[in-house]
Amino acid sequence: VLIKKVFTALRDEMGPFDIQIIDCDLRWGVPKDSTTEQTILACLEELDRCFEDNGQPFFIGL
């Protein structure tokens, strides 16, 4: 629902203001058998990548 409806509507609303909405599930790509430490590290690396790729983004955690 978030990706198909909410983020789509946000992209439509924010596009004219040159604001990009990029959805990112921090669990994507994290193996199920990862330790807690490995999972946290993978999530932090993904956040770093988002900041590097997108300048100074806002982060909303759900």
What pLDDT, in 10s, does the model give residues 34-47?
Answer: 999 999 999 898 88
Q: pLDDT value at position 12? A: 94
Q: Considering the entire predicted model, what is its pTM?
A: 0.63
What pLDDT, in 10s, does the model give residues 22-31?
Answer: 887 887 888 9
Give SS3 for 13.
Answer: helix
Cα–Cα distances in angstroms (integers) from residue 48 to residues 5, 34, 57, 62, in the given order: 26, 20, 11, 18
Whether 60 has a pLDDT exceeding 90, the answer reads: no
CA–CA distance, 24 with 26 (Å, rounded to integer): 6
Q: What are the backbone angles phi and psi of residue 52, rounded to the nearest 5°?
A: -65, -40
48 — pLDDT class (breaks 50, 70, 90): confident
